[in-house]
Structure 1
Amino acid sequence: MPWVLSSQMEHLSSSPSQRQCEQSAFSFYCAVREQLPVWLLEDMRTMEVFCWEDGHPRAFLPSKALLYALVHDHQDYARYLLHRYSVSALRASRCSFCCCRSSDAPHLSVAVRYNRLSILRMIVETLRDCEVQSEWQDYLERCGGCSHVADSGKTAVQLAVELSRPDCLLLLLIHGAQADCLDAALQRLVSCDPMERPHAQRCLDFLLLFMPKPLAQQRLQQEPQHWQSLLGNEVFSWLCGQAPPPLLLQSLRCLARSGPDQISALPNFLQPHCWQ
């Protein structure tokens, strides 16, 4: 448990062997935090670091090391782990607080929560290289987190919307994640801090680019004037099923599917917000 101070570990551990495992894991966590070289971290992980599972010390898996790399944005180490172990580095590991597995897709959730865009790109590219396409698309739709953590039951897309992470969201959508949380994006737009509103607006814009078709939103119909002012008349009418999508929106929907850099590279007057 790297987030527990070493002075507190003996109160949480029941045996000398378990305390030793926790201390070695904590030392490894600190080494990743200090951005030590990859070769040194791998030597530590394979020869010195253990975790405690089912009453026995176990080898410290690459999947847990990748979580540490995500938390501290150690991009070189994340790149090595994904290149060396491929999708096996993305397997869920046991939660430190309970007996269940920590998550079906913990790495996606951690990447989004900490806004680690570079490592998230490495992860989705690793998934894309899977031989079976349905497997990596299914991985993108899995929910992260045990029942006692904040991300429980949320997909990476849902988390990106709730935290206003537009760049992470676009990357996930381009690689096949479903744009299925429009209602959450609308709620976020009206409830977020004014400083975060541009990011929340951009998340909504990206969802609109990847939605297969608009669904009538009761929220919009309850306060039509308010939502018209936020979304613009054309987008509002389209979402309510009263008009076709704006021409610029249709064009950007085609462009967005060709790669994340295509949208970001557009001049400001062609960015998604200008269809409003």
Structure 2
Amino acid sequence: MPWLLSSQLDYVSSSPSERQCERTAFSFYCSVRERLPVWLLEDMRCMEVFCWDDGHPRAFLPSEALLYALIHDHQDYAQYLLNRYSVSALRAPRCSYCCCRGSGAPHLNIAVRYDRLVILGMMMAALKNCGEQTKRQDYLDSCGGCSHVADAGKSAVQLAVELSHADCLLLLLVEGARPDGLDAALQRLVSCDVSKRHHAQRCLDYLLLFLPKPPLLQRLQDEPQRWQSLLGNKVFSWLQGVAPPPLLLQALRSLVQFGADRISLLPDFLQLHSW
């Protein structure tokens, strides 16, 4: 439990061996936080015992080390773990709270929550190289996780919409994640602070780029004048199913297939807010 202070560890466990594991776990956490060299972190992870699991000590798994690298944005360590262990570094670790087997895609959610765009790109590359399209898709769209975890039941796309992390959202969508969360994106647009509205608008625009067809949303039917003024006539009519998608939207859909960076390179009058 590396989030505990060292002065608290003696009161957590009764076993001296378990207390020693907790101390070394906290030491490893601090070492990743300080962004020590990769070779030193791997020596610590492989040669020391950190975890107490089912009454036995064990070393940290690569997937557990990657979670620490994500939290503290240690990009060199994340790159090493993904290069060395590939998709096995993305396996969900066993939950330390309820001891259930790991499920879902916690690394994706943590990358989105902490807005670790560079490491998220590394993870997407590792998934692309695994060669198993079905498993890759399941991982991208996973909503698993234990019920006591903050982001349980949310996919990485849904979390990116909720937090207005537009760059993470675009990267996920370009890599094939399901474009869920349009209703949440609309709600976010009208409820967020003015300072965050630009990012919320970008999230909405990116979802529209990847929607195969607009879903029927009750909020658009309940307040048509309000949403028509916010979205513009063309987008609103398309979402209502009474008009084809705007021409700029169709053009940008083709462009974005060549990479997430293509949109940002466009001049301002061709950006998504222009349609």
Q: TM-score, normalised by structure 1?
A: 0.97
Deviates further, 114-123 or 97-106 = 97-106
- For structure 1, the residue ranges without an aligned partner over 5 or more in a row are none
Code of the residue aligned with 2:30 in structure 1: it is: C
SS in structure 1 at match of 2:201: helix
* Alpha-carbon separation, structure 1, partners of 2:132 and 2:160: 26
* Alpha-carbon separation, structure 1, partners of 2:110 and 2:135: 20
Code of the residue aligned with 1:37 in structure 2: it is: P
* Alpha-carbon separation, structure 2, partners of 1:93 and 1:100: 9
Residue 260 of structure 1 is matched in structure 2 by 260
1:211/1:180 CA distance change after superposition, 3 Å: same
SS in structure 1 at match of 2:273: helix
Shift of 1:271: 0.8
Runs of 4+ in structure 1 displaced over 3 angstroms? none
Residue 179 of structure 1 is matched in structure 2 by 179
Residue 126 of structure 1 is matched in structure 2 by 126
* Alpha-carbon separation, structure 2, partners of 1:193 and 1:145: 29
Could you list the per-position Cα deviations for residues 146-169 of structure 1 after superposition, in whole angstroms to 9, with x for gaps in the alignment?
211210110000000000000000
* Alpha-carbon separation, structure 2, partners of 1:73 and 1:118: 9
What does 1:18-97 align with in structure 2 at a 5 Å threshold?
Answer: 18-97=18-97
- For structure 2, the residue ranges without an aligned partner over 5 or more in a row are none
What does 1:1-276 align with in structure 2 at a 5 Å threshold?
Answer: 1-275=1-275
Could you list the per-position Cα deviations for residues 256-276 of structure 1 after superposition, in whole angstroms to 9, with x for gaps in the alignment?
12210111111111111110x
Shift of 1:144: 4.6
* Alpha-carbon separation, structure 2, partners of 1:223 and 1:49: 59
Q: What's the C-alpha RMSD, in Å, of the aligned pairs?
A: 1.0
Code of the residue aligned with 1:20 in structure 2: it is: Q
Give % identity.
74
* Alpha-carbon separation, structure 1, partners of 2:79 and 2:264: 24
Shift of 1:253: 1.1
SS in structure 2 at match of 1:143: coil
* Alpha-carbon separation, structure 2, partners of 1:14 and 1:153: 34
SS in structure 2 at match of 1:84: helix
Could you list the per-position Cα deviations for residues 104-162 of structure 1 after superposition, in whole angstroms to 9, with x for gaps in the alignment?
21100100000000000000110000121111111101125321121011000000000
* Alpha-carbon separation, structure 2, partners of 1:257 and 1:191: 31
Code of the residue aligned with 1:233 in structure 2: it is: N
Code of the residue aligned with 1:75 in structure 2: it is: Q
Whether the 8 Å CA contact 1:144–1:156 is kept in 2: the answer is no
Whether the 8 Å CA contact 2:48–2:59 is kept in 1: the answer is no
Q: Alignment length, in residue pairs?
A: 275
* Alpha-carbon separation, structure 1, partners of 2:213 and 2:90: 32
Shift of 1:33: 0.5
* Alpha-carbon separation, structure 1, partners of 2:251 and 2:62: 42
Code of the residue aligned with 1:89 in structure 2: it is: A
* Alpha-carbon separation, structure 1, partners of 2:267 and 2:19: 56
* Alpha-carbon separation, structure 2, partners of 1:176 and 1:191: 28
* Alpha-carbon separation, structure 1, partners of 2:183 and 2:35: 40
* Alpha-carbon separation, structure 2, partners of 1:93 and 1:150: 16
Whether the 8 Å CA contact 2:63–2:88 is kept in 1: the answer is yes
Shift of 1:59: 1.8
